[in-house]
A and B are shown apart, each in its own frame.
Chain A
Amino acid sequence: MVKQLKTIKADFPILDQKVNDEQLVYLDNAATTQKPKAVVEALDHYYYHDNANVHRGVHTLAERATEQFEAARQKVADFINAGDKKNILFTRGTTQSLNWIAASYGEATIHEGDEIVISYMEHHSNLVPWQQLALRKKAVLKYIGMNEDGTLDMADAKKQITDKTKIVSIAHVSNVLGVVNPIKQLASIAHQHGAIMVGDGAQSVPHMPIDVQDLDVDFYAFSGHKMLGPTGIGVLYGKTSLLEAMPPIEFGGEMIDFVDLYESSWKELPWKFEAGTPDISGAIGLGAAIDYLSEIGMDQIEKHEQDIVNYVLPKLLAIDDLEIYGPKDPSKHTGVIAFNLKGLHPHDLATALDMEGVAVRAGHHCAQPLMKYLNVPATARASFYFYNDSNDADRLVEAILAAKEFFKHGTV
Chain B
Amino acid sequence: MALSKLDNLYRQVILDHSEHPHHHGHLSDATNDIELRNPTCGDVLQLQIQMDDDDRIKDIAFSGSGCTISQASASMMTDAVVGKKAQEADDMVEVFSELIVGDKSVDTDVLGDAAVLEGVKQFPARIKCAMLAWKALHKALAADDHVAQVASLHASDPKEDNVNDRD
Contacts and interface: CB of A to CB of B under 8 A. Distances in A.
A283 B105 CA distance: 49
A20 B123 CA distance: 11
A11 B41 CA distance: 33
A284 interface: no
Interface stretch (A134-142, A308-316, A354-362): A354-362
A124 B47 CA distance: 28
Given A32-B167, A406-B3, A377 B19 contact: no
B167 A175 contact: yes
Given A344-B68, A352-B3, 20 more contacts: A30-B167, A31-B166, A347-B41, A351-B9, A352-B6, A355-B5, A356-B3, A361-B167, A363-B40, A363-B41, A363-B42, A365-B167, A366-B165, A366-B167, A368-B42, A371-B42, A377-B43, A377-B44, A377-B65, A407-B10
B3 A364 contact: no
B22 to A, nearest CB: 17
A361 B41 CA distance: 10
Interface residues of B, number: 26
Interface in A1-54: 20-22, 30-32
Contact of B41 (A22, A362, A402): A362
In the A-B complex, the 7 residue pairs with the closest CB atoms: A345-B67, A31-B167, A347-B67, A364-B42, A378-B42, A377-B65, A355-B2
B58 interface: no
Interface of A: 20-22, 30-32, 175, 344-348, 351-352, 354-357, 361-366, 368, 371, 377-378, 402-403, 406-407, 410-411
**What does DSSP make chain A's interface, helix, strand, loop or mixed?**
mixed
B66 interface: yes
Contacts of B149: none
B42 A351 contact: no
A280 B113 CA distance: 54
Interface string B112-131: 00000000000101100100
Contact of B3 (A345, A355, A368): A355
B69 A348 contact: yes
B12 interface: yes
A94 to B, nearest CB: 10
Contacts of A345: 66-68
Interface string B36-72: 0000111110000000000000000000011111000
